[in-house]
Amino acid sequence: MSTKEKAGNGYKWIGQNMKRVEDPRLLTGRGKYIDDIVVPNMAHAAVLRSPHAHARIKSIDTSKAKELPGVILVMTGAEAAEQTGPLPCFANPPVAQPCIATDRVRHVGEAVAAVVAESRYIAEDALDLIEVEYEPLPVVIDPEEALTSSGDAVLHPDRGDTNIALQRTLTFGPVDDDFAAADVVVRRKMRWPRSGGQPMETVGAVATFDEGTGKFTIYANSSMYNYVGWLMAVSLNVPPHKLNIIPTIAGGSFGSKLFVHKVPVIAGTLARAAGRPVKYLEDRIDNMMSCDNHGSDRIYDVELALKNDGTMLSLRMKSIDDYGAYLQFGVGHWGNVAAQASGPYTINSVEINLTAVLTNKGQQGAYRGFGSEVNNFILERVIDAAADELGMDPTEIRRKNFIQPDQFPYKIPTGNVYDSGNYEAVLEKALGMVDYKGWRKKQEEARKEGRYIGIGPITCQERSVFSSTEFWFWNHEPGFALTSSPESVGLKIDPLGKAFVTLHSPFWGNSPETMATQIVAEQLTIDPADIEVTYSDTDHGLNGTGPGGSRYTVMIAGAIAGAATQIKEKMFKIAGHMLEANEADLELAEGKISVRGAPDRSVSIPDVAMQAHYFRLSLPDDVNSGLDANFVYDHPYTTMPSEDRSDLGVFYPIMGHMCHIPVVEVDIETGQVKFLKYVAVHDAGTVVNPMTLAGHIRGGTAQGIGSAMYEQFYYDSEGQLLTANFADYLIPTIMEVPENVEVGHVETPSPFTEFGIKGGGEGGRMGAPPAIAAAIEDALKPLGVKVDVLPITPMRLRELIREAQAGG
């Protein structure tokens, strides 16, 4: 075990704005993304997409497509199913998802057949020659209607005559008593719309099946390949050691490449059948319709019980969550809700009533926040409503209910524990940066001129470092109740003293190589220029859960600290032998191991490394040659949930915090919202690299702006996705984001992690939506407009303004 590296200010590399080591190759067009992978004799695949949201496949005629010159293989779902089983699913009971639909399509864009050809052009030509006869079935789009579906409208009849996937109420603490004791109950109905990560690079795979060895080699831009990648071997019907997954860097993920299984499994299935390596890369329409990673899509009824003085007592939420056509991650998103259900506040009790439904839409997956961002939205919104009702300033009601610094570690009603925090300090810093009082004055003056300026302070949580218990504790029957979610690192010092770091999870747009370099440099006092970071494939992989839930930096720091400790111990042993000194008297600094108090008596790391690798007969008797260590670092603090789920245990304890304060001006004639100022202060514990953390915060805020104001996967009543391209699905350009998101940091180190680091990858998107809604509502206070439904597009805002003016 490593001894925990404490937080402090005496670091040389941690806390520096080190330029990223990933960048030179990315800046010069030499990154190797999935579409840059070419293997000899490689063919290209394309898939035929269903035009129907819900239909039986009556027949498929592929004969004309097969005749097209250049076509190697045409495969229907039924033919694929002869070799390949259902895709991985973490729900219990599972929902069977074929890689290509067999007898029934359940959403628009679902694959019904695939073609392998000499080029992508020919493959797409051949798709046009496939004839499919469909028998349309009743389409279920409205999640409330899904509650009463029966017969042919049921997507998965094998799970019973219902589209309700899971219904459960969890009560944490004396909710009824607290509501009975309340002076006031504030209630809001809210709607969080379906959006998605939509990275600029889609999902792809290049698969080879070697008939000689019976083994697949698949390049993929998926994460979790060293955690649960073997499940793809199960789908492909080969033993796990007959599949090697090689990671490529990802051109963005934002969660949406958390565990992408369908594309690699399709590529593998086709490669085996075609006898040729196959590249399959989603195009943008594939990705928007069928990437398996739409974000949360929820209807809420929320109640907050308070005393007249603003003290929050209890929170009740009832929600219908529209999961789409499949249920790959179960309702893990609601573990994320429970992780920080009561926010940064001392709310005494919580009740969550969840109904997860299946509809004819692309299935949910992961998107930056994984469902916790929605909880931030509804909680902050209902608190704003309470502040309005009680006549309190939004900052005052929050401040009154903050968990205080001396109360940590703090157990919230759901059972999760928050490690540390200083919410007052974050709020004060943000209020100072934005000049809150000054803007309140300007707002008052502007109102006299008929201008609508609004200020939207919110204070919310960013849980980080998930534990896998949240995958299953919502299930009535847990199923595969795993409790491990480790991260691993291999660390080797070569004979010349260079450090080689092997990560077991991929780059997906974050900065793992930079983080690993800074932390190894800190631990071993090796120059960053002498550190090389690479990624293992599954053949050489150790358990690595990967980025997601803002865990990667915390977890690789833990793994590196563990491996570096072992390396240091061995170096000290060898150095002690070389210097004829007691190990206990040695110290490591500036790349040298010296006798404490006698700096002249020292050996460099390269000296020791050379000795370790090549001079066995000069080593102590009990020391083997070599200088390397592997370390599997487990989640630093997690406990089991109680049997009755009145206490979910500790599963997301590394608790970040943020205060976002946008200042906006609304043009009531056009519905346009302009940012006048935007301040975001975050607490992510000890900051490893302030520059890259600020990058995450700003980028996440831009995505939060998209979720709040522009983006929606909009399905019509027939289940057609009307926003299936970038002309209709509106990702913010530079014109939609603030010119300057001013970022501040407050550091309350975690007592549970190495160096006190907390996660910080998702925060921007977790804070911006409630802040923007609050600012817009505040701007339109004279009109009484309420913002309970997102996205609040200019058109939607104009409707609300019109209604308010007509009503007033």
Partner 1 sequence: MEQEKVVVSVNGVQYERMVEPRRLLCDFLRQDIGLTGTHVGCEHGVCGMCTILINGRTARSCLTFAVQVDGAEITTVESLGTPTNMHPLQAAFWEKHGLQCGYCTPAMLLTAVELLDTNPNPSRDEIREAISSNLCRCTGYQNIVDAVEHAAAQMNGGAS
Site for partner 1 in 283-302 (CB under 8 A): 283-284
Binding of residue 695 to partner 1 (CB under 8 A): yes
Q: Decide if residue 509 touches partner 1 (CB under 8 A).
A: yes
Beta strands in 196-293 (DSSP E): 204-210, 215-220, 243-247, 278-281
Using DSSP, state whether 109 is helix, strand or coil.
Answer: coil
CA–CA gap between residue 603 and residue 592 (Å, rounded): 6
Q: List, in sequence order, every residue forming a beta bridge with 194; answer none if it has no partner.
A: none
Q: How many other CB atoms are there within 10 angstroms of residue 360's CB atom?
A: 27
Given 219, 254, 423, 471, the residue binding partner 1 (CB under 8 A): 254
Q: Is 722 in the site for partner 1 (CB under 8 A)?
A: no
Tokens 């940064």 correspond to what residue? Answer: 344
Q: Per-residue contact track with partner 1, 744 to 773, x per CB under 8 A?
A: --------------------x---------
Check residue 733 for interaction with partner 1 (CB under 8 A): yes
Alpha-carbon distance 246 to 541, whole Å? 10
Of 181 and 200, which CB lies nearer to partner 1 in the complex structure?
200
> Could you say which of 28, 213, 308, 624 contacts partner 1 (CB under 8 A)?
28
Residue 734 sits in the site that holds partner 1 (CB under 8 A)? yes
* Token pair of 749 as six digits: 């180190």
Q: Which residue's CB is nearer to partner 1, number 254 or number 345?
A: 254
Binding part of the chain for partner 1, among 178-186, 211-219, 643-651, 730-738 by CB under 8 A, reads 730-738
Nearest CB to partner 1, comparing residues 36 and 424: 36
The site map against partner 1 for 697-716 (x = CB under 8 A) is -xxxxxx-------------
What is the total count of residues that contact partner 1 (CB under 8 A)? 57
783 binds partner 1 (CB under 8 A): no
Instruction: Identify each DSSP E strand in 328-434 by its residue range.
Output: 349-357, 410-411, 417-418
Tell me whether strands 278-281 and 204-210 are parallel, antiparallel or unpaired.
antiparallel
Q: Interaction with partner 1 in 72-131: which residues (CB under 8 A)?
A: 120-121
Rounded CA Rg of the chain: 28
Q: Which stretch binds partner 1 (CB under 8 A): 14-22, 537-545, 576-584, 792-800?
A: 14-22
Residue 31 lies near partner 1 (rule: CB under 8 A): yes
Segment lying near partner 1 (by CB under 8 A), choices 136-144, 565-573, 606-614, 734-742: 734-742
- Binding of partner 1 by 25 (CB under 8 A): yes
* Smallest separation, CB 577 to partner 1 (Å): 40
Provide the residue type at 74 as one letter. Answer: V
27 touches partner 1 by CB under 8 A: yes
Q: How far is CA 495 from CA 198, 422, 590, 591, 622, in A?
A: 44, 46, 18, 14, 20
Cβ at position 32, least distance to partner 1 in Å: 8
Structure tokens at 313: 């007592």
614 sits near partner 1 (criterion: CB under 8 A): no
From residue 207 to residue 246, the character string flagging contacts with partner 1 as x (rule: CB under 8 A) and all else as - is ----------------------------------------
Give the DSSP letter string of 146-187. HTT--GGG-S-GGG-S-SEEEEEEEEES-HHHHHHT-SEEEE
Among 610, 731, 783, 804, binds partner 1 (CB under 8 A): 731
Residue 462 binds partner 1 (CB under 8 A): no
195: exposed, middle or buried (Cβ count in 10 Å: 0-12, 13-18, 19+): buried
Binding mask 146-185 for partner 1 (x = CB under 8 A): ----------------------------------------
Angle at 720 between CA 360 and CA 790, to 5 degrees: 80
Residue 206 Cβ vs partner 1, minimum distance, rounded to whole Å: 13
First to last CA, the chain: 67
CA 397 vs CA 344, 641, 737, 768: distances in Å: 12, 32, 29, 19
Cα–Cα distance between 805 and 800 in angstroms, integer? 9
User: Angle formed by the axes of helices 423-434 and 436-448, to 10°?
Assistant: 50
Sign of the dihedral defined by the CA atoms of residues 714, 324, 219, 511, in that order: positive
- Regarding 41 and contact with partner 1 (CB under 8 A), the answer is no
Residue 528 binds to partner 1 (criterion: CB under 8 A): no
Provide φ and ψ at 689, rounded to 5°: -145, 100
Q: Which x/- pattern, by CB under 8 A, does the window 665-694 give for partner 1?
A: --------------------------xx-x
Locus of tokens 């005494």: 348
- Tell me which of 600, 621, 622, 739 binds partner 1, using CB under 8 A: 739
β-partners of residue 322 are 357
**Backbone phi, psi, residue 303, to 5°:** -130, 135
- In the complex, the residues that contact partner 1 under the rule CB under 8 A are 19-20, 22-31, 33, 35-36, 120-121, 197-201, 249-254, 283-284, 508-511, 691-692, 694-696, 698-703, 725-727, 731, 733-735, 737, 739-741, 764
